[in-house]
Amino acid sequence: MAVGDGRLPQFRSIPGVKIGVVEAGIKHQNRKDLVLFELKAGGTLAGVFTKNAFCAAPVQIAKQHLSTSDSNKPRYLLINTGNANAGTGPRGFDDALACCQKVAAQQGLESSQVLPFSTGVIGETLLSERITASVPQLVKTLEGHAWPDAAAGIMTTDTRPKGASRSVNYDGHEIVISGISKGAGMIMPNMATMLCFVATNAKVAQPLLQSLLSELADKSFNRITVDGDTSTNDACMLMASGECEAPEIDSDHPDFLKFKASLQAVMIELAQAIVKDGEGATKFVTVAVEEASSVEEALETAYTIAHSPLIKTALFASDPNWGRILAALGRAPLADLDLSAVRIYLNDVLIVEQGARAESYTEAQGQSVMDQDEITITLRLARGVVSEQLWTCDLSHDYVTINAEYRT
C-alpha cells in the first residue's frame, strides 16, 4: 500500500563506480540480498550515520574505516539485508569485520578500505559465513549498470525499490548523479533513518563532499518521518569518482549552485520515496510550518503534527477532523502562542483562523482534500519569517500488522 506508482528511473551509470549483486541466502532464499559498490581508486567518499547510541556493529566499523589515512581510503561498500547485526555485542563486530576482510582479500586491499552496512532484524547473529562465501561471485558481478538490482537488493519491508538519477551541466561538461535508498519503517530523523547510496562522476575533494552531504541530508533525509523511531543502522553515503572531464567542484564556481541543487533534488526524491513507501502508508503528507520565529521552532511544530497518532489515523480514514490538528498545535513547544493569529490550511483550503473554524470553510472542502493521496498541511504561526517543511504519512492497520509480524 504505497503512494504513487514508484517506478524506478532510467538510471544513468556513473563512470568509476561499479555494482555487484547476488543472492546469498542471508534470511530468504531466491532473493537479492547482498550488494557491493566499487569506487575507482582516487575517488572520494563521504558519509553520515545514525545518532542512535545503540548503533550497530557495521555502523561503528564504517565510521572507523571512513576516517582512515589518505593512503588507504575506502573503495568498497558491502551491504546485506535480512539481518541488522545490531545488538549483537563483540560477536557482531567480529562478523562485520570478517566480511570486510573477505572483500579486501579478494581485491588485494586493506580491510579498512571496505565499509559494511546491514539492515534487517535487530538482535540476531549475522550469518557472516553466507556473506563471505558469496564474495567471490559478488565481485565477478561488478559492472556499471546494476543500479536497479542494487535497489532491490537492499530492501527489507519495502514494497518497492527506490532510486533517482539526473544530470547537470558543469563548466560545459555533463555531471551525472544516481542513487538508491531503502526504508519503510523505523523512520525518524536523527541523521537519515535508512540506507542510501548516491554516486556522481564529479571530482569533489573529500572535505567539500562531506560538507555537501551533511548539509543536504539535513534538508532531505532529516525531514522525513514515518513512525518516530530512529534505527540503529542508518547510513547515507556519497561517492564521487572524479571521472568527469569537468574541473573539480568548487564552491566559488558559477555552476556550483546548479550542481548542489541537482544533488539535493536526488536526495529529496530518495527521501520522499521512503515516506511514500512507509509501512502501510496510503497518504503522502507534507507538513509545512510558515511564519515561525526560528528553524528549531518550525521543525518542532512540524514534528508535533507529523507524529500525532490521532492526526495520522485521521489521515488514513480520509477524515477532515481538523480539531486534531488544532489540538496538536496547542501542545507544540511554542511559548506565548497567539491562537488568534494562527491560520491552518489543508492544501489551499483555509480551515482555521481567529482561533476557530474559518467562516469560509466547509466540510465538503476538507473532505475533497482528504480524499487525495498527497496532502499538504500548512500552519502559519505569525511569529516570524522562517519556513520549514517535512514529509510524513498516515498510520494504517497494515503498519501495526507489519510490525507485529516482523519476525514471523
Catalytic machinery residues: 193
Nearest to 209 by CA among 243, 242, 181, 235: 242
* Cα angle 382-383-385, degrees, rounded to a multiple of 5: 90
Residue type at 331 in one-letter notation? R
> 187: how many CB neighbours lie within 10 A of its CB?
27
Q: What 3 state SS string does 86-121 have? A: CCCHHHHHHHHHHHHHHHHHHHCCCHHHEEEEEECC
Q: Give the strand order in the sheet containing 114-119.
A: 17-22, 34-39, 76-81, 114-119
Q: What count of Cα atoms within 13 Å lies in the side-chain half-sphere of residue 261?
A: 8
| H helix runs in 155-284, sequence order | 206-218, 256-276
**Cα(376)–Cα(374) distance, integer angstroms:** 7
Q: For residue 177, with 0-12 CB atoms within 10 Å meaning exposed, 13-18 middle and 19 or more buried, which class applies?
A: buried
**Cα(47)–Cα(37) distance, integer angstroms:** 14
Q: For residue 114, with 0-12 CB atoms within 10 Å meaning exposed, 13-18 middle and 19 or more buried, which class applies?
A: buried
